[in-house]
Structure 1
Amino acid sequence: MLWPLASLLTAILATLFVGWLVDQTLQRLAARHPDAPVWESLRRCRIPLQLTLLAALLLLSHPIRRIFPSEDSVVLHTVLLALIASLGWLTVRILAAVLEAVFSRYETITEDASRVQRVRTQLGLVRRVGAAVIWVVTVGALLLTFDAMRTVGASLLASAGLIGIVAGIAAQSALGNFFAGLQIAFSDTVRIGDTVVLEGQQGTVEEITLSYLVLRLWDYRRLVVPVSYFVSKPFENWTRRDPGLLAWVLLHLDHRTPIDALRAELERFLTGTDLWDGEEWSLTVTDTTPSTIVVRAMMTARDPDATAALKLATREHLIAYLRDHHPDALPRVRTT
């Protein structure tokens, strides 16, 4: 009895030692290469690695058979299930670490932000699809360890066609979202970090899964949208090719407004602000009414956030300038 217990204790201690040794090695590699996140990602594989190693040692050394001779088959089957499940868990963690390393490498050698976002979105969906496939295979392997499942396997395969048709009809929406997610990932229509507008709601794409997409709105609310929406309905993507946008401000002013002075003030303001990207700007009179003129100021910015901030700042500055230097330019209601 002592020898089986000693074998069991040795297997547990060996598993803990191997896990500690692997973790220390990865920690040192991460310290030597701080720019490579793969080592930190692989450290998350420690627990499934230890479980896999422990289950394998228990199956090979058979200490449980000597400790529980009357329930040998049940205990060994439980250990086998633990081994298969931990292997699936370990494979998912390794896949995530490898894909993160691929993205990190691509991010360092590519300066195009749009390509980085596209690859980030694609690898994220590849990770989810790969994890789903691994878990399906793992669950299938777990079920095949039971004699009852192997016995009914032939009948299940015979009825697989009918079951597939029924499941396809019942899960039509879910399957549509699944394939829509794959289409979005590899067609480059929308990526993580893009600024989009759908049905009047402007937001930044925060997360893309195989079934839904999360938008972070300007007031920090989250809008969850099925991914099938983006392949069946039109939407605006402000940052698909170039994140730069054109901001514009409309001012209703009096006919006596000095347009040249206002134009020079706009140029001076844009030159002194970091929100303007230095590309384009203009100030023109676009319309007139019996009581006012409509002045439009346009300027470019590097991204949607800077565009919104520049638009607000320009409006405030021009109104303050007219109030302080040309008060007659502000619109007023004439009674005579």
Structure 2
Amino acid sequence: MRVDWQMASAYLWPIGIALAVGITGWWLLMLLTRRLKGRDYRRARIARVISRPLAFALPMLVLIPALEATPLDGRWLDQSLRLLHIGLTACFIWLLVRAVAAGEQAILRDNPMEVADNLEARRIQTQTRVLSRVLMGAIILVGASMVLLTFPMVRQIGTALLASAGIIGLVAGIAAKPVFGNLIAGLQIALTQPIRLDDVVIVEGEWGRVEEIGSSYVVVRIWDERRMVVPLTWFIENPFQNWTRRSADLLGTAFLWLDYRAPIVAIRGELERICKGEPLWDGRVCVTQVTETSEHTLQVRLLVSARNSGDAFDLRCIVRERMLDFLAREHPQALPRTRAELLERPDPPTRTPRSQPADDVRSPGAEDGPPAVVPVDETVG
């Protein structure tokens, strides 16, 4: 078989040079990416974002003019150029997604939540995370649509769908309702912020912290290390408690049921002593109040304040334990007890004839009238 070297050289030279340049550029850019790994200054971060997608796009960029310089034409050239354009579009989408992720990381880095007063940082991080995920999803969706529209068959299907947009649009709307519902809920949460990252919430009766806000769900870390996964739409459609909506400060209560002889003044002084000696107390509220009484005991409420819900829970437990120890040690008569009184057995009561009720047992102004039977003196003639 005889090879036409002249024809072969017309293909090999342009493609070979393009591949050599492209592979060399790919190697250099990947080497740069490895060199910059771990470096944390701004130019290194920007270079890391750009270098990897550009390393894969460069060989395709140089192959396009190389293919056009060859004698290849017709259907084969069109298909080859289409594949290269699809690859370049994918690299461009990849670059945009990496840029959004890098911007998100930069904002999160500038607003850390590992500080005492992190309300503003949590607000910014919540908005950044939710909006960046929505933006990434939109970029990928638009890029995939651009790639699919390069195929004539897909364009024909799109035209047919538009021709029957009524029924198909209704079906697609019903099918995509959960997706678009979570998307809109995510935007609402990002803008109005009923919840933020690290917020303390009560969801379905469970106490936990918002650990993650995704594009379609929220992960709540329960106090016992369980994870509750809740759809985004749930927080828009249902009431829930947010203990850190405006600030993390919280009031905590400890209730005691004591005897009526409990020394309230001494209890109030002991609570103040406990609060002043406890670093969990934030210095705002330290109140002792009798809030309820019953036939056997009285209810005493010990109200204290703390910087956050975790400190408030621990402070309540400390106050309750130390107050009970104080009462048992100093005022044992204040603890609840059951009283019984022993009386001597009285003489049996004298029965009064039913026809002759005693006047002193009737209610004043009773409405039952005079006795039904009136005794008659038989001696009267």
Could you say whether these structures have the same fold, taking a TM-score greater than 0.5 normalized by the shorter chain as the test?
Answer: yes
Structure with more contact order per residue of length (Cα contacts < 8 Å, sep ≥ 6): 1
Pairwise TM-score range, normalised by the shorter structure: 0.7 to 0.9
Structure 2 alignment gaps of length 5 or more: 1-8, 342-381
**For 1:89, which of 86, 94, 112 is the aligned residue?**
94
Counterpart for residue 120 of structure 1: 125
Counterpart for residue 181 of structure 1: 186
- Distance in 1 between the 2:209 and 2:137 partners? 27
Counterpart for residue 27 of structure 2: 16
Please tell me whether residue 303 in structure 1 is matched to residue 308 in structure 2. Answer: yes
Q: Is the 8 A contact 1:191 1:205 kept in 2?
A: yes
- Distance in 2 between the 1:161 and 1:23 partners? 53
Cα separation, partners in 2 of 1:39 and 1:234, compared to 1, 3 Å: farther
Structure 1 alignment gaps of length 5 or more: none
Cα separation, partners in 2 of 1:114 and 1:164, compared to 1, 3 Å: farther
Cα separation, partners in 2 of 1:146 and 1:173, compared to 1, 3 Å: closer
- Return the offset for 1:295: 1.1
Counterpart for residue 63 of structure 2: 58
Q: Greater shift after overlay, 115-124 or 144-153?
A: 144-153
Q: Is the 8 A contact 1:257 1:326 kept in 2?
A: yes
- Distance in 2 between the 1:61 and 1:269 partners? 83
Q: Is the 8 A contact 1:249 1:296 kept in 2?
A: yes
For residues 88-146 of structure 1, give each alpha carbon's deviation from its aligned partner in whole angstroms, at most 9, with x where no partner exists. Answer: 112101011123324444669x9973332222222212111111111111111211222
The one-letter code of the counterpart of 1:14 is: G
Please tell me whether residue 282 in structure 1 is matched to residue 287 in structure 2. Answer: yes
- Distance in 2 between the 1:111 and 1:248 partners? 23
Please tell me whether residue 158 in structure 1 is matched to residue 163 in structure 2. Answer: yes
The one-letter code of the counterpart of 1:168 is: G
**For 1:266, which of 261, 271, 276 is the aligned residue?**
271
Cα separation, partners in 2 of 1:228 and 1:102, compared to 1, 3 Å: same
Cα separation, partners in 2 of 1:293 and 1:9, compared to 1, 3 Å: same
In the TM superposition, what are the counterparts of 1:60-209 in structure 2 within 5 Å? 60-62=65-67, 74-105=79-110, 113-209=118-214
- Which structure's CA Rg is the greater one? 2
Please tell me whether residue 292 in structure 1 is matched to residue 303 in structure 2. Answer: no
- Distance in 1 between the 2:265 and 2:339 partners? 25
- Return the offset for 1:25: 5.2
- Return the offset for 1:324: 2.6
- Return the offset for 1:252: 1.0
Please tell me whether residue 324 in structure 1 is matched to residue 329 in structure 2. Answer: yes
Residue 295 of structure 1 aligns to a residue in which SS? strand
- The two structures, once aligned, show a CA RMSD in angstroms of 3.2
Residue 244 of structure 2 aligns to a residue in which SS? coil
- Distance in 2 between the 1:185 and 1:42 partners? 30
- Return the offset for 1:65: 7.1
- Distance in 1 between the 2:336 and 2:44 partners? 65
For residues 68-93 of structure 1, give each alpha carbon's deviation from its aligned partner in whole angstroms, at most 9, with x where no partner exists. Answer: xx966555543333222222112101
Q: Is the 8 A contact 2:285 2:305 kept in 1?
A: yes
The one-letter code of the counterpart of 1:288 is: T
- Return the offset for 1:283: 0.9
Q: How many percent identity over aligned positions?
A: 38
The one-letter code of the counterpart of 1:15 is: W
The one-letter code of the counterpart of 2:237 is: S
Q: Is the 8 A contact 2:36 2:44 kept in 1?
A: no
- Distance in 2 between the 1:277 and 1:41 partners? 44
Cα separation, partners in 2 of 1:316 and 1:264, compared to 1, 3 Å: same
Counterpart for residue 379 of structure 2: none
Q: Is the 8 A contact 1:280 1:299 kept in 2?
A: yes
Counterpart for residue 221 of structure 2: 216
Cα separation, partners in 2 of 1:161 and 1:58, compared to 1, 3 Å: farther
- Distance in 2 between the 1:319 and 1:66 partners? 96
Q: Looking at secondary structure, tell me which structure has more helix per residue.
A: 1
TM-score normalised to structure 2 length: 0.75
Residue 228 of structure 1 aligns to a residue in which SS? helix
Residue 261 of structure 2 aligns to a residue in which SS? coil
- Return the offset for 1:287: 1.8
- Distance in 2 between the 1:335 and 1:58 partners? 102
- Return the offset for 1:290: 2.9
